[in-house]
Structure 1
């Protein structure tokens, strides 16, 4: 004889199943939202305010609402992230990207600051080394018969052995 079904267990199972399905649907919905947030922070507003597209918040910006609408449309049509970025670069130019690309001539923008820093550091090290070598040679006391005679005369006239 089978045990009778507990009504509470059945309710809990249905509630858990419903919750699991709702979570699955909400994950799919947030994917487009997450892509939207990620992409609008990879692009700059073209109005000249110097802010990333998703953060452009000055009153009356003529460009950010248009660009954000274009971005949402591109995501909803199924374009990949790279296709979206490429289409914005084609329309607004490479200045629409918040960070330069990592290939071609744009790679210079990533390498140049480090190369300039390394060259400046090397130049500073060589300059300090050159100064310190010159200073140690200049501090050597010069001893000659003329200088000894001058020191003897100073000692006789002042009645001191020197020093401070």
Structure 2
């Protein structure tokens, strides 16, 4: 027995078929790839290297720097930065202009100024506190170990007899065993 398909089912099936056909023809959309760009990044001098590696591309890629992002957005930004460098601006001035235009989240490394110092101080303080906790814990364990060792050496009445040495308890035990025979 065959089922009749409702218009909703037919519409969903048709749209899924069209979507699959479209992604087959143009798979770059499915992969999230950028179109354009040469695929290579050219850095001509040390000032460009310092600048490009300090700024994040604003194309939406996963936080790649301008020094590594091969997309067409990155190429355009690099050409813009090259023009500013040739115009006489310093690397710091260009970074400031880039931050003013796109925001501080597009800096590869946050600056160590103002409230951003916490980004540098918190991990350092956490590492120092962790190291202090480890040192204190190890000292406590060592002290407890030394106390237990000292207590074992200090016990004489309850300690088992050393090999070859006899004490009053051994003599009494031997006497009782002889009496039972």
Contact 1:89 1:96 in 2 (8 A): yes
Between stretches 65-74 and 83-92, larger displacement belongs to: 65-74
- Return the TM-score normalized by structure 2: 0.54
Q: How does 1:38-49 map to 2 (within 5 A)?
A: 38-46=50-58, 47-49=60-62
TM-score by length of 1: 0.59
Give distance in 1, aligned partners of 2:131 and 2:54.
32
- The answer as to 2:47 corresponding to 1:35 is yes
| C-alpha contact (below 8 Å) 1:49/1:56 kept by paired residues | no
Q: Which runs of 5+ in 2 are unaligned?
A: 1-43, 161-166, 175-181
After TM superposition, the structure 1 = structure 2 runs for residues 19-30 of structure 1, keeping only pairs within 5 Å, are: none
Higher helix share: 1
Q: Which residue number corresponds to residue 124 of structure 1?
A: 134
Unaligned runs of 5+ in 1: 1-31, 158-164
Give deviations 1:84-128, integer Å, cap 9, x for gaps. 111111122112222221211222223333222221111100010
Quote the residue 1:85 is aligned against: 95
- The 3 A distance-change label for structure 1 pair 67 and 148 is closer
Distance 2:159 2:85 in 1: 90
Over aligned residues, Cα RMSD in angstroms? 3.1
How many residues align structurally? 122
